[in-house]
Chain A
Amino acid sequence: MLICFTLTASAKGFGQKKLNLQFQKTEIASILTTIEKATNYRFLYDNSLKGVRLKINLNVKDADLKQVLDEMLANTGLSYQFMENNLVVIKETNPGEQAQSVVTGKVTGDGGVPLQGVSVQVKGTNKGATTGEQGTYSLNVNDADVLVFSYVGYDSQEVPAAGKTEINVTLVLSKQELAQVVVIGYGTQKKRDLTGSIAVVSGDDVAKMPSTNPVASLQGRVAGLTIVNSGQAGAAPTVRIRGVNSTNNSDPLYVVDGIQQTNIDYLNQADIETIEVLKDPSSIAIYGLQGGNGVIIITTKRAKKGQSTTSFQSNVGVQQVNNKIKVVDAAGFKKLYSEQLANISAAPFDYSNYNGNTNWQDEIFRSAIINNNSISFSNSTDKSTTYLNLGYSNQQGVEKFDHYQRYVGRLNEDIRVTNNIRVGADVTGSFWKQNPPVGGIENEALWAAPIVPVQAGPGLYYAMPSFQRAQVANPLAAIDGSNGNTLNSGYRVTASVFAEIKFLKSFTWKSTFYTDLSTNSSRGYTPLPFHYINLGEGGTSTDTSYNNLAHTSVSQEEYIYKTYQQDHTLTFDKNFGSSHLTVLAGFSTLYHYSEFVNGNRTDTSLNIPNNSTLWYLNVVQQSNPGTYGGGAAEDASISWLGRVNYSFKNRYLLNVSFRRDGTSKFSPSHQWGNFGSVGAGWVMTDEDFMRDISWLNFLKLKASWGTVGNGLSIGNYLSYPALTPANVGIFGDHIYPSVAAAYIADPNLHWEKVEGKDAGVEARFLNNRLSLDVDFYDRKTHDILTNITLPNQTIPYFTNLGTIDNKGVEVTAGWSDKIGRDFKYSISGNVSVNKNNVESIGNGINFQIFPNGVNMTQTGYSIGYFYGYVQTGIYQNTAQIDKSPHLASAAPGDIIFKDVNGDGKIDQNDRTNLGSPFPKLNFGGNINLSYKNFDLTVDVQGVTGNKVYVARRTATFATLNYESNRLNAWTGAGTTNIEPILDNTRSNNFLFSSYWLEPGDYFRLRTIQLGYTFNTGTTLRNSGIKAFRLYLNAQNIGTFSHTTGYSPEVPISSPTAGGIDNGIYPVPAIYSFGLNLTF
């Protein structure tokens, strides 16, 4: 019907005529007639064309005819052609195709709000469109087509086209995330149908965090996941899933778009669609030998169907060390060192030349920039989708000159060859370069005496006093001396190609070939040393020293890593009445190869200039001294796998999987192993008897059992008696090669086997506003692979020992709701409790695993627990010593140890369990608020129940600066019951005891993020912008802890020697600003 019609035309010739047209639901033929009347143009068309009977809306202003026709005939299946004499032919675009009609419409969500970006797709095809800003779409369809409307977070709807020209749809918020499709090993499954325990984190949550490693940002977000971050630029965190399983290696397997990896440093954190954490054996069993420590599946972004977008993300931030370690200043040092010398009756130190007051931490730390940028282009057509992403990350470390940069590019392409054949390829290339931090500088800065000034001029530094000169260098000189002298860089390319064929309706064959190639290189330079001012003491005058014997040298290292992987799967997927059956069978091989060469050469006649273009071995004459090395390693594995997923009436769920793995890492008689799992689930809310419970929207019970292997990251040829070149035989000046066993070979070596049980409940209440997931697990690792020290043997022995058990509970709960139209909020939290117990350390073992005299691994206790004395006070006087059990040499001022076994004497048998380095409880919380265009996120996170060993304070190899706790050292009766006397020769006080432990519990304000999303109003729309968000973020701004180190997060990477703070790169606070832009 014509509601309004205005037309103005000026006869200034073709292209000059400006038309103003406004029609609503008007037949095209009738519009054409109207235009004919107003202009000189004549239209020629066949009246039987279906297209010209279409009723459309048209609204153009100041348009020429071409624009009008383009707009009018879009999606009508009609095209036009200008002929001579102002004649325009209208014809069908593809006369061969079935007659089509245009459907238009609007998609709205809750409360009639238009939904932008909804995918509208013709079922069974790639044909589709996406809704625009007002929720509107327009699409060419056939009468028989069915349209599928889908949008993240909403239930999909299917509407038959059935000749309709307008289809308006209101989408309903889906029953939370249960409708999500989860990537499981070698396939996908609805979250609702899972019988295992898989946590899903959206890539968007990771992208907006200021970090160069995607996994680092998972801290506190997933129950059962322990993450220990490092502050070092570009460094990967330590990740543990459900506790420590092994005494060997507890790192999870990463599967990035199908590629099995142990290192994902190359990924652009803004380019991730989802991260999934597979926690229980029934989910992991399909990964067999590789999966023992859990699996993290990362899916990168691909072009969404029907979308053509460009998206840009960027954040920039400043990192700072907020918690410097409290050490004494110059006055404090002089007081304490004098006291210490007096306590051992040594002559006082002559401080007269030492007038500095330096906090060396201030010298080595700085405010550092972190900057991440990512731009991606995606395009999708009926036949193909293309996605291109480019990323650049630039992170300075808070330690001076530590610097990491990474460039990533990723391109993927899916091509639909026919309706049943799909092929595709994926290529990621990355380049990183790094100026690494100086190793051990954290402790040097704590240890260097504050009485020394820093620097007298360029290249002229102050040396430490005689009591530490041989052991502690001027920290700033150390850091300046290494600035830019190590150039690390690496290239990595991962690529895959796949083909997928559907046949006989229910079968899908998919073959994928993967490769992961990388090369790392490092070039180094040793410059001439600095000059040092020795202030001197005891009457020695100040002098300046310089090491005349030092020469410049260069080094080069090259590493090559290659991985080839192939996966082939056949999937059968079919509904039988109320049953749904998916059967997967597969075959996979994996091959790793690595090699390296390195060399260095010292120039004893020339000084190589400090110019990196010269830092190659050949800059030095070959006759100069140097060393060279090289080596290689490879391993291979073959796997057969299978899985059956069965559901009956959507409520009874069954999952059975199997994998048979063979690996070259073990001797031929121990190469093959079988792994498998069974999982079952019951969606109770689908039962009739529960349908009427209105407050309960969803309830699922699930349980699973499974076994997996743990052969990841273990050495390659450990069952062979390998020989290694040993220290050379020397007779006079003759050098003779020598050889020795590299390790004690265990020909019976086989992999660890992890057996796990899991039971859980998933529930959604009160209109899905309240969610609760609870999982119980019990996981036993048998035949743990352990590297142990045998008594009176000093070379490593690697063997299978006993059994470790991890039991735990994980609870995740959330509430989300809104108040009024504009205020939305959600609160969620997760808690996981883990209890670790070593059930056995093996039958053949008649000695203890106590590698460092601190961490004990023993049957009946938590792995690697702290084993030592218990401090009960400080001896105040000799009378107190005499009347209680004491160590032979105990003296006033010494630590009082508890007579734990009550036998009236203090000896080694009074050592006891002082706690575990591993947290008993991990928790995280998250609050999201949004009001109109503003949104606010607060994340908190923490751990409890672990202990931290302050090993950095135990060093006695020199006189080191004191941490401020020593200001309270015992100086006489009644002064303290905590801090022993200042006397490092009182070795009793250095026995490992509770004095050296700090509670590791902490609570951290992990993230506060405030964002503003612009209305995509006129201004933005005209510039083509579809979405625009700005945000401010603060990370790690407050950590509440009893620990005195830079961070309560100390390394736990070694299961049998974890929790030791002996110089840790600080985890900084980060204040950042970011934006997301889509157009």
Chain B
Amino acid sequence: MFGFAALLLTTAFLPGCKKDFLDRKPLGQYTADNYPYPSGGGPYDQFVNAAYASLRTGDGGNTAVSGFNFMGAVSIRSDDGDKGSTPTDAPDQVAMDQFPVTPTNGLINDLWNGYYSSVNKCNTVLYQVGHDSTGTAQDVKTLATAEAKFIRAYDYFMLVRLWGRVPLIDTVISSISQTNTKQSDAGTVYAFIESDLQFAAAHLPLTWSSKYPGRSTSGSANALLAKVYLTEKKWGQAFSAAGMVISSGAYSLDPDYGHQFTETGENGVESIFEIQAYADASHQEDANYGCQYANVQGVRGVDWNNLGWGFNVPSGALTAAYETGDPRKDATYLYCPSLVPTKYGEIFPTEPNPAYNQKVYTNPTYRSMVGDQFGWWMNVRILRYADVLLMYAEAANESGNAAEALDKLEMVRARARAGNTATLPKVTTTNQDDLRTAIQHERRIELALEQDRFFDIVRWGIAATAEHLAGKPNYTTGRDEVLPIPQQQLDLSKGVLTQNPGY
């Protein structure tokens, strides 16, 4: 009997006595210690790719930075974009359209989190570079650093323009007490952005191999830097940064204004930086690959013409701003009902709104190829050459160089009129104020329903006038230039973050 007990004892305790019984490492999942970084592409590629992806989709599938929230904050808030959809739909966008946006608005917290998610992805790259002891070549490290800094600068440029004062986080957190950071004033944030972009501009290549269309370049860093300087009213530096993009010779205007917004125009000659998106039959509305941007603005129809939710429709003020015969209007507006068949031969019936944003209008061939109507394959055009030309013109005019300004302004107008001399006459005034007005008008029309108008009218100091003219009387100077800090962030920070004035 004791023998039996002893036998049991021996067999029973064996598994428990094995030294590694409690040593269980993740199965089917890498840890930071055993990741087999692909050779050749640099050990940081995988983290850099995640940083790029974060411009499209943040952690937890947060599509705010490229989707519904983004579009509301940058365009519906402007005098050009109206909410669209149906009257009672999405009251949070009504607030974006009509002001004020309250701290509990459901759109802004995700937007905040989305940009910080992207910032964290960039900080991870920088951390990996700084802690790399594998003997990687310095130029590989520098390139990864430059890309991360470009993306991080874009994030902070969005953050600072959306909220004014935001916390500056430039490292990955290693202890819980590091996490609650105070806001920096806008000036500090801008200085940080400038420094990141200067590094990026100095170390990014001007072009990449054909395997990487749309990857950040010194051109995209300089173009973004020009916009940063313009926002800071640093005219000389803006002039020089935009000038470097132009003189690089890497870009030209797409002869067809409308073409650059189509599928075949993606990453085209005019494109300087786009948020890249992809969809196929396996990944139709998949935030891991695609982008919600076109979905939220597509025609809100039924059946074949149900292309999206129908937000961000052209306002009456925008319609009135077009010069007679400007072909860009018909390239920007997707009329419902269609007056003539669209460029793809489709005829839209009456829909809840008379026109939608044609810049996200998808090609039916792609729709049927992907098996989906909501356009998650459409890139978001962030920086394009026409924008740089107009920034250059603006900086030139503000620096007293009317000739350069007129020259670049004409390049944009010439492309727009597409050989039809009956419209869009050449601007000739050298009066700085008149020319400023002309450039501002040109930016509005050229970039209509994209993502610059609200920030432009704020930096030009004409926001209140423009918004009130567009039938948004609630817009209040001193408050609505920036969004309120999300209540959820204020609460989370336990008083470390403070609210913007007026909210």
The residues of A with any CB-CB pair to B shorter than 8 Å are 337, 340-341, 344, 346-347, 420-421, 463, 466-467, 469-471, 499, 501, 503, 509, 511, 513, 532, 534, 538-540, 543, 545-551, 566, 568, 587, 589, 591, 595, 602, 604, 624-627, 630-638, 662-664, 668, 671, 716-717, 720-724, 726-742, 744, 789-795, 797, 799, 844-848, 850, 853, 888-889, 908, 956-959, 984-985, 987-988, 990-992
CA distance A754 to B164 in the complex (A): 46
Of B4, B49, B169, the residue contacting A738 (CB under 8 A) is B49
B192 at the interface (CB under 8 A from A): no
CA distance A988 to B91 in the complex (A): 12
Q: What are 13 pairs between A and B in contact, CB < 8 Å?
A: A511-B8, A513-B12, A549-B372, A636-B21, A721-B32, A727-B53, A728-B289, A729-B53, A730-B52, A848-B494, A850-B488, A908-B491, A956-B90
Q: Is the CB of B26 within 8 A of A467?
A: no
Nearest residue, chain B, Cβ from A346: B87
Q: Is the CB of B49 within 8 A of A723?
A: no
Nearest residue, chain A, Cβ from B61: A727
B56 at the interface (CB under 8 A from A): yes
Of B52, B176, B281, the residue contacting A729 (CB under 8 A) is B52
Q: Is the CB of A792 within 8 A of B5?
A: no
Residues of A within 8 A of B13 (CB): 568, 587
Q: Is the CB of A741 within 8 A of B487?
A: no
B149 at the interface (CB under 8 A from A): no
Q: Is the CB of B60 within 8 A of A794?
A: yes
Q: Which of A341, A540, A847, A956 has the most CB of B within 10 A?
A: A847
Nearest residue, chain A, Cβ from B286: A627
Q: Is the CB of B289 within 8 A of A730?
A: yes
CA distance A889 to B474 in the complex (A): 10
Q: Is the CB of A470 within 8 A of B22?
A: no
Nearest residue, chain A, Cβ from B364: A549
Number of A-B contacts (CB under 8 A): 320
Q: Is the CB of A602 within 8 A of B47?
A: no
B265 at the interface (CB under 8 A from A): no
B132 CB to closest chain A CB (Å) equals 15
CA distance A309 to B304 in the complex (A): 68
Of A548, A742, A985, A992, the residue contacting B91 (CB under 8 A) is A985
CA distance A741 to B309 in the complex (A): 33
B292 CB to closest chain A CB (Å) equals 13
- Chain-A contact segment, one of B102-110, B232-240, B254-262, B433-441: B102-110
Q: Which of B15, B25, B280, B303 has the most CB of A within 10 A?
A: B303
A826 CB to closest chain B CB (Å) equals 46
Per-residue CB contact flags for chain B residues 484-495 toward chain A (1 = under 8 Å, else 0) read 000111111110
Of B50, B98, B120, B267, the residue contacting A793 (CB under 8 A) is B120
Q: Is the CB of A728 within 8 A of B49?
A: yes
B300 at the interface (CB under 8 A from A): yes
Q: Is the CB of B22 within 8 A of A625?
A: no
Residues of A within 8 A of B47 (CB): 738-740
Q: Is the CB of A791 within 8 A of B52?
A: no
Residues of B within 8 A of A794 (CB): 58-60, 62, 113, 116-117, 120
Nearest residue, chain B, Cβ from A799: B176
List the 7 closest pairs (A to B, CB-CB), nearest first: A729-B49, A545-B303, A738-B49, A625-B282, A732-B213, A346-B87, A727-B53
Q: Is the CB of B100 within 8 A of A420?
A: no
Determine chain B's interface SS by DSSP, over half rule: loop
Q: Is the CB of B120 within 8 A of A346?
A: no
Residues of A within 8 A of B87 (CB): 341, 344, 346-347, 467
Residues of A within 8 A of B302 (CB): 463, 469, 532, 534, 543, 545
B55 CB to closest chain A CB (Å) equals 10
CA distance A681 to B312 in the complex (A): 73
Nearest residue, chain B, Cβ from A420: B1
B88 at the interface (CB under 8 A from A): yes
Residues of B within 8 A of A635 (CB): 24
Q: Is the CB of B94 within 8 A of A741?
A: no
B428 at the interface (CB under 8 A from A): no
Q: Is the CB of B103 within 8 A of A908?
A: yes
Of B49, B113, B373, B491, the residue contacting A848 (CB under 8 A) is B491
Residues of B within 8 A of A732 (CB): 212-214, 266-267, 276
Of A469, A471, A663, A738, the residue contacting B46 (CB under 8 A) is A738
Residues of A within 8 A of B367 (CB): 549
Q: Which of B47, B124, B278, B302 has the most CB of A within 10 A?
A: B302
B327 at the interface (CB under 8 A from A): no
Given contacts A717-B26, A956-B92, contact A792 B277 (CB under 8 A): no
Residues of A within 8 A of B9 (CB): 568
CA distance A723 to B34 in the complex (A): 10
**Among residues 44 to 93 in chain B, which have CB atoms less than 8 Å away from a CB atom of chain A?**
45-50, 52-54, 56-60, 62, 85-92
Residues of A within 8 A of B191 (CB): none
Nearest residue, chain B, Cβ from A602: B281
Q: Which of A671, A791, A985 has the most CB of B within 10 A?
A: A791
A719 CB to closest chain B CB (Å) equals 10
Nearest residue, chain B, Cβ from A887: B102
Nearest residue, chain A, Cβ from B291: A730
B421 at the interface (CB under 8 A from A): no
Given contacts A731-B214, A737-B46, A794-B116, contact A847 B492 (CB under 8 A): yes
Residues of A within 8 A of B306 (CB): 470, 545
Q: Is the CB of A344 within 8 A of B8?
A: no
CA distance A513 to B16 in the complex (A): 13
Residues of B within 8 A of A631 (CB): 27-29
Q: Is the CB of B173 within 8 A of A744?
A: yes
Q: Is the CB of B29 within 8 A of A724?
A: yes
Q: Is the CB of A791 within 8 A of B179?
A: yes
Nearest residue, chain B, Cβ from A471: B89
Q: Is the CB of A499 within 8 A of B15?
A: no
Q: Is the CB of B280 within 8 A of A636?
A: no
CA distance A984 to B33 in the complex (A): 51
CA distance A227 to B8 in the complex (A): 41
Q: Is the CB of B22 within 8 A of A638?
A: yes
Residues of B within 8 A of A467 (CB): 86-89
Residues of A within 8 A of B121 (CB): 726, 740
Per-residue CB contact flags for chain B residues 2-21 toward chain A (1 = under 8 Å, else 0) read 10110011001101100001
Q: Is the CB of B368 within 8 A of A549?
A: yes
Q: Is the CB of A726 within 8 A of B53?
A: yes
B427 at the interface (CB under 8 A from A): no
B498 CB to closest chain A CB (Å) equals 11
CA distance A344 to B27 in the complex (A): 56
B344 at the interface (CB under 8 A from A): no
Residues of B within 8 A of A595 (CB): 27
Per-residue CB contact flags for chain B residues 198-224 toward chain A (1 = under 8 Å, else 0) read 000000000010011111000000000
Residues of B within 8 A of A346 (CB): 87-88
**Among residues 457 to 477 in chain B, which have CB atoms less than 8 Å away from a CB atom of chain A?**
none
Residues of A within 8 A of B242 (CB): none
Of B88, B211, B492, the residue contacting A789 (CB under 8 A) is B492
Residues of B within 8 A of A534 (CB): 302-303
CA distance A737 to B30 in the complex (A): 14
A722 CB to closest chain B CB (Å) equals 5
CA distance A538 to B352 in the complex (A): 9
B403 at the interface (CB under 8 A from A): no
Residues of B within 8 A of A471 (CB): 89
**Among residues 90 to 144 in chain B, which have CB atoms less than 8 Å away from a CB atom of chain A?**
90-92, 94-95, 98, 100, 102-105, 113, 116-117, 119-121, 124
CA distance A671 to B306 in the complex (A): 56
CA distance A959 to B88 in the complex (A): 6
Known: A736-B45, A846-B494, A985-B95. 16 other contacts (CB 8 A): A340-B88, A344-B87, A503-B5, A566-B15, A625-B282, A634-B27, A635-B24, A717-B31, A722-B30, A726-B49, A728-B49, A738-B50, A791-B180, A793-B116, A847-B494, A958-B90
CA distance A718 to B31 in the complex (A): 11
Residues of B within 8 A of A795 (CB): 59, 117, 120
Nearest residue, chain B, Cβ from A589: B16
Residues of B within 8 A of A846 (CB): 177, 180, 494, 496
Given contacts A717-B26, A740-B124, A987-B105, contact A908 B487 (CB under 8 A): yes
